[in-house]
Amino acid sequence: MADKKLRAGVIGARLGAAHAYAYANSSEYELVAVCDLFPKIIDEMWERAKLPEGSVRTYTDYKEMFEKENLDVVSVTVPDHLHADPVCDAADAGIKGVFSEKPLTINLEDADRIIDAVNRNGTKMSVDHTRSFVPVFREARESVRNGDLGGLTRIVAHMGGHRSMLFRNGTHIVDLMGYFAESRPKWVLAVHEQGFEDYGTVYKGEGGKDPALDPGSTLIVEYENGVRAILNSAKMTPAITEIDVMGPKGRIRADDAGGSRLLSDTVEGAVTLDPSFDHPGYPEFFGDALIPAVQEMAQMVLNGAESSSPPERGRDTLEIMLGALLSQDGGNIKVNLPLPRN
């Protein structure tokens, strides 16, 4: 670890309060600045970030923050449709690492702009699909990679609760399927919840104001490596995020409370519980969940480590969700991916 701490800033002080907390509680960083267009939101941030009021400098213009603060890393936590400009501007300004909230963007054109900017500038980037950094999900993927299940064939995922809209909270679980599949999506088929049959092919982004305005959805996704995933994002069900990954010799179930692993000595045989699989789930406070993510970003910037949630997979996640809209609009048809470029 370098003796000199990385200088961190945050754009967007509402959701960014948790990011500010994570930087302030990670030994790799000095949190130096927070930016928001609205001073009132900054005033409300201190308590939510568990920071002394006035303990870091504040701005209403992120470009001014870039010019004055010599940042090494910045979080972008503005509304979904506004991600592209600050991410691209940060990369062009020479900031070494960018940590953006999910989804990456709401359209593929902006996603491609972001990926081009970070690649062109050599910027390290991660997208906050938070469960990529939570121990139980990380250890589950390592178990799959180590061959404990005899390969990976099926993924079944569920997200419940009133915020289980396809685009907003649902993006976490769609991305988690790709996190385990480790392959590009090949096609998607979707059936939206009742009442959203005519939602259309453009994400409206209204669920942030009222979850009742955006649909939950049932998806089937097949990946290029043959893995098939089924997702059910359903309101009027308990608020849980869980994923079940299966192979010829076992299965692992992981959710925000923890997980379990069941293994067999034979292909398609009876399974027994493996008590050695015991890892922490999602912490109670969102800011604590982000600490491993910003710590990984420090390793990316300082030592060239790989991202657990790269923007390229964020783009794949977005493409699955846009394909789901096309599937529903076309009468629940199978939509091939990648989508045609305009």
The one-letter amino acid code at 284 reads E
How many other CB atoms sit within 10 Å of the CB of residue 342?
5
Domains of the chain: 6-131+287-310 (3.40.50.720), 135-282+317-336 (3.30.360.10)
Say if pTM beats, i.e. exceeds, 0.85.
yes
Given a cut of 90, whether residue 214 has pLDDT beyond it is no
Task: Provide, rounded to the nearest whole percent, the portion of the chain with pLDDT above 90.
Answer: 87
Given a cut of 90, whether residue 211 has pLDDT beyond it is no
Q: What is the mean pLDDT of residues 118-138?
A: 97
pLDDT in tens, 296-339: 999 999 999 999 999 999 999 999 999 999 999 999 999 999 99
| Predicted pLDDT at 245 | 98
| Predicted pLDDT at 181 | 98
Q: What is the mean pLDDT of residues 231-246?
A: 93
Given a cut of 70, whether residue 1 has pLDDT beyond it is no
Q: What is the mean pLDDT of the chain?
A: 95
| Predicted pLDDT at 204 | 75
> Residue 137 — pLDDT band, cuts 50, 70, 90?
very high
